[in-house]
Chains A and B, each alone.
Chain A
Amino acid sequence: MQNAVPLSWYLILSAILFALGVAGFIFRRNIITVFMSIELMLNAVNLSFVTFSYQFKQVDGHIYSFFVMVVAAAEAAVGLAIILTVFKNRATLMIDEVNSMKY
């Protein structure tokens, strides 16, 4: 077994995780699972950042990744508060039942 891992493997893993996140975002109907799919996509992008950071031997990618984490934390706090409010008003978590802006 070779010792060094090709850089492209990390990027392929990142792409696969991003694609899975997109699939979850599209196919799931529970709003909490949709939200978790977004977190999965953010994680996949973070992996790309850290991989390129390794390639260029610079820590800038780590800092971008850190910023993504902070934004994800803020987004999770606000998003989950919105989910709580939606549930309080509608008593449902299914995204296709929250459709009053459609008509």
Chain B
Amino acid sequence: MTALIFIILAGIAVFCGINLVVQTHPIASALSLVGVMGSLAVLYLQLGGEFIAAAQVIVYAGAIMVLFVFVIMLLNAGAEGTSFQVSRFVRYLGAILLAAFLGLISLMIQSTLPRTEGVTFGAFQGTTAAVGRKLFTTYLLPFEVISVLILIAIVGAIVLARKEI
């Protein structure tokens, strides 16, 4: 069951990732990215990251993608024109080389990773309580620093998007 869910969601993620690169209209790419993020959220849940799965849906698929779609709408971004013509031979060659490249990556990861027992759902649960406890004890300083970073980002975004510049 775990393997079946993984295969389905990995298929969706890879399909949406390819679609993101292939589509010419930015809004189609944005929708594909939402698909990738949604399937990754389920994979995080499978790996026992319940907090990070919720954060993925809320922060990434929710907030960041809304920002993207908002900017696409605001700028009225249209389809990207094709500047270079690609012959059919090059297209096929590219597909073969892409498959070879991805196979090589898979082979390298398979061969370098030591044998471990696989992932089963429920074997490890990184509960939100555990994440919170660690975040506010061990990682307290990075947490505070990153809140300052996000404050700077907010101010910077407002300054950049003002009318006068």
Contact = CB atoms under 8 A, between A and B. Distances in A.
Contacts of B44: 47, 50
Contacts of A98: none
Contacts of A3: 1-3, 120
A88 B164 CA distance: 11
A93 B77 contact: yes
B119 A78 contact: no
User: A interface, how many residues as a size bin?
Assistant: 35 or more
B33 A62 contact: no
A90 B162 CA distance: 16
Given A13-B10, A73-B59, A85 B68 contact: no
B21 A13 contact: no
Interface string B110-126: 10010011111001101
Given A10-B119, A30-B77, A19 B101 contact: yes
Interface in A58-85: 59-63, 65-67, 69-78, 80-85
A38 B46 CA distance: 25
A77 B153 contact: yes
Given A46-B40, A73-B63, A33 B116 contact: no
Interface of B: 1-4, 6, 10, 13-14, 17-18, 20-21, 26, 29-30, 33, 36-37, 40, 43-44, 46-49, 51-52, 55-56, 59-60, 63-64, 67-68, 71-72, 74-75, 77, 80, 83, 101-102, 105-106, 109-110, 113, 116-120, 123-124, 126, 130-131, 134-135, 138-139, 142, 146, 149-150, 152-154, 156-158, 160-161, 165
